[in-house]
């Protein structure tokens, strides 16, 4: 697989511009810090066909898929049902999730509201991901050998702690990629790339990435773990950049 993870942020409120999707970026940052390779970020409406199209695309090029959003109790929350249909899974009521929901709803509203049971329904072979900050638990579903889809609710205060509690570990340690970051001042992005071209031509496996800010260019240098030339390359880069490092 080309990428370890791809993301689908689900919700009309995202595609219609009512809110900004910050979750996928936060998830990516967390996973990159654990040396996972991140691929595509997709946003789609609360629409079964759009969700299926997104799943189909990511499944082709990503080992694992993460979806965020669409786990609410209303009729437009279609994520769980669509994922179950896509992967040929039967939906069942998880009693532990239902008891938690029932208790929460009775304490907050004094009654069980319409659609609540939907939030306690999951694919039969799924592993429940507890949500300690909201009503909707997430789930993890295996769909192929060592491949999973992770399904999270949309609110950041809920999904970010859930991701962190998973403690995902990259087992491909032999493929670990190391990063070195410099903040480069008083030089344009294209001029910086030109100065580093000699290193790129000498060491073809090296990757440089650039991010321009108002006050500097952030330069990221990526190299494989155990690379015998890593220190040599870093010294050459810093020699080239010595007049531009803050």
The 10s digit of each residue's pLDDT in 21-51 is 999 999 999 998 888 889 999 999 999 999 9
d(CA 237, CA 240): 5
What is the per-residue pLDDT for 33?
A: 83
What is the per-residue pLDDT for 110?
A: 83
217 falls in which pLDDT band (50, 70, 90)?
Answer: very high
The 10s digit of each residue's pLDDT in 149-165 is 999 999 999 999 999 99
Q: Which helix (H) or strand (E) holds 116?
A: none
Please list the residue range(s) of the chain that carry CATH number 3.40.980.10.
3-166
d(CA 45, CA 15): 6
d(CA 7, CA 5): 7
Over residues 163-187, mean pLDDT: 76
The 10s digit of each residue's pLDDT in 95-115 is 999 999 888 888 877 888 777
What is the per-residue pLDDT for 1?
A: 64
d(CA 6, CA 12): 19
pLDDT at position 174 over 50: no
Please list the residue range(s) of the chain that carry CATH number 3.30.70.2860.
176-241
What is the per-residue pLDDT for 228?
A: 85
CATH tag for 176-241 (out of 3.30.70.2860, 2.60.120.10, 3.10.20.30, 3.30.1600.10):
3.30.70.2860
Among the residues of 62-145, which ranges form H helices? 79-86, 95-109
Mean pLDDT of the chain: 91
In this prediction the pTM is: 0.80
What topology is assigned to 3-166 in CATH? Molybdenum Cofactor Biosythetic Enzyme; Chain A (3.40.980)
Instruction: Give every CB contact of residue 241 below 8 A, 6+ residues apart in sequence.
Output: 182, 184, 195, 219
3 state SS of 120: helix
What is the per-residue pLDDT for 176?
A: 58
d(CA 24, CA 28): 6
What is the per-residue pLDDT for 172?
A: 53
pLDDT higher at 12 or 221: 12
Distance of CA 215 to the CA centre of its chain: 28
Distance of CA 92 to the CA centre of its chain: 27
The 10s digit of each residue's pLDDT in 48-99 is 999 999 999 999 999 999 999 999 998 999 999 999 999 999 999 999 999 9
Q: In 3D, which of 166, 77, 93, 171 has the Cα closest to residue 126?
A: 93
Over residues 203-219, mean pLDDT: 90
Edge-first strand order for the sheet with 3-10 is 38-44, 3-10, 62-68, 147-152, 138-144, 127-129
The 10s digit of each residue's pLDDT in 130-145 is 999 998 999 999 999 9
Cα-Cα end-to-end distance for the chain: 39
What is the per-residue pLDDT for 229?
A: 84
DSSP 16-71: TTSS---HHHHHHHHHHTTTPPEEEEEEE-S-HHHHHHHHHHHHHHEEEEEEES--
Instruction: Give every CB contact of residue 208 below 8 A, 6+ residues apart in sequence.
Output: 193, 196, 200, 219, 220, 221, 222
Instruction: Give every CB contact of residue 29 below 8 A, 6+ residues apart in sequence.
Output: none
């Amino acid at each position: 697989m080309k990428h370890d993870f791809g993301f689908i942020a689900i919700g009309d409120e995202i595609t219609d511009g009512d809110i900004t999707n910050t979750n996928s970026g936060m998830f990516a940052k967390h996973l990159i810090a654990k040396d996972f390779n991140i691929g595509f970020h997709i946003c789609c409406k609360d629409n079964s066909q759009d969700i299926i199209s997104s799943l189909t695309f990511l499944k082709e090029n990503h080992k694992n898929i993460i979806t965020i959003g669409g786990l609410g109790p209303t009729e437009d929350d279609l994520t769980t049902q669509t994922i179950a249909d896509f992967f040929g899974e039967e939906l069942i009521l998880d009693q532990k999730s239902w008891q938690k929901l029932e208790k929460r709803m009775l304490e907050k509203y004094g009654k069980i509201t319409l659609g609540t049971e939907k939030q306690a329904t999951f694919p039969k072979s799924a592993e429940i991901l507890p949500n300690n900050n909201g009503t909707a638990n997430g789930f993890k579903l295996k769909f192929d050998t060592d491949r999973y889809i992770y399904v999270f609710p949309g609110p950041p205060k809920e999904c970010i702690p859930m991701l962190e509690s998973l403690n995902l570990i990259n087992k491909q340690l032999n493929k670990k990629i190391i990063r070195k970051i410099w903040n480069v001042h008083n030089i344009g992005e294209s001029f910086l790339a030109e100065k580093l071209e000699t290193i790129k031509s000498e060491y073809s496996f090296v990757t440089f990435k650039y991010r321009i800010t108002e006050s500097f260019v952030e330069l990221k240098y990526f190299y494989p773990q155990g690379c015998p030339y890593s220190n040599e390359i870093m010294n050459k880069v810093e020699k080239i950049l010595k007049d531009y490092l803050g």
